[in-house]
A and B are shown apart, each in its own frame.
Chain A
């Protein structure tokens, strides 16, 4: 890679992604870091691109972090979580039912239908289904799963799947729906779910969400400079505040990987990323 430009990989889950990274590009360049970015249509393409050296730092979903970490380990490399948003830490997901539902325990979901988001959404599918599985209810066996597979490959970044799941709950098409805690609040506030019309049945343990990911040995000094600049961004600074507002954070935090353990357990249970990891490793193993 060109070792004077820091190139970021990001997934285009929404048109605002261009606004965000164009803005970051202006801001980083004003702070003497030559910053550029490439966009991918899916996290799988992005992870593959990372190992082909198409960019230095990935803006990864938690699932893409696990994919990267797993492939890196198999290839004898080390992946590192460089930084994350304050709002990426300690999220929870909830399983909600209608307020008048007879269901008052996870066990009572047996034989019923649960709405989830995209198949690859950690927050709206994998983590809540793992939570139910850990409580003894096997998805697709003990209860039916109704997927709202909007934009697979985006790992649930697009909120549409969750909104559709919530709507299915509100209209009575399903018995329960899986959402991020914050979306349960915002859907109740914006009327997607009538206020007071739903009840939280279960809540997952806290988990972490997106992180900037780097591979050790790829322009390490440049990555350090990138991380230092990010961590120095302040919400008080009007030049960067609009970008922080768009990305939905108040401050950047150093990356940590402890918060990915719940998702690691879920993908181990469901085998979500095994085939992808094998395929990518095999591609790199070829002479």
Chain B
């Protein structure tokens, strides 16, 4: 954009936490679910009572390996859980069971693409840990630093939580958007998490640093937190990038710190924590034995993996002949891709026509209603039927838009909406011919002009026929009939 920006380069590494949608918690049998009455899903294990023993959830281990394999990671032959020691009331044990130097999965990569081309982002590690409880800070406007006391709900404590750490290979807010979108679609397709950023089942923290182009050392690493949508990630990173560039321009020193993103103002601000190095004194969790997943187990997980977004993008372009923009829209979510593919499978013609109806028309209705593609009342096969109705000449494209609106409201089949709204297009040659003859008789002047070669006037006559048929006559047939009769 500006010259100033060209002097600098941005480096971003992301740390993403994903809550797994297992039935029970990571180390105990308490149910995993969102919200609910406080402290109704706890037990001695997740309350950290002395003498209770954690036992890892097999499904959570499997889900973590699924994520790791889908991100191209290696699965560790030997992996350990560690205790991460810190004192915070949302962790009743005063330590979190996490992983340290031997995570379940390591060294993967994700391919992202956009205006900048295609680019690989390394995955440093994917590990498994337990989530904390939820604190509410009372007094001081709900801010922890100013509050009088806090209240703890441990329903969430012990929920299996996967941490995914990327290499600092991301170079812009837009690349971060592509990475997070890709990651979310991947995990969604695996069916191992809800990945709802608004509800906190997927949380993104970013390490951002800006430096002079070509500088050997990275700039000061600033950690940005509290971004609860992909849009927020982009806004926060754009703001932070600009802030650091301006500071460097002004000759200021940037400090390593944690900053909080404010959704309303779009601004990041320092979290006012005093700088002291955490000393977590990690040590191997003595209550749990090491993990050495059998090759057969890993192999069967690998075989069960669904298609990766990058592969899906390539296939959509190839199989359906779609352009980059359409592919991006349809693959940003696994569920959207599934919806489209079901519609394309139900439609005998060129899938591009279905895509056009989705993107040009259905998306407009969805946006207005605040719904996602897969949440609409319209089933994929119903959209396919609608396009088929247009092809067969039963309705015009213009009428189809009305029919789509009706389908969107009611979820009814297009045929039913057509019948109810009386939109059936008349393609019966006899019926149209009768109206055409009437119109020619009533508009002798215009008809005469067409006969003498003034074809421009034919549009007027077509309009008259359409008017008389209340818009139901097949306009193409009307046109042909008029031309034949007046030639």
| A and B found bound together | no
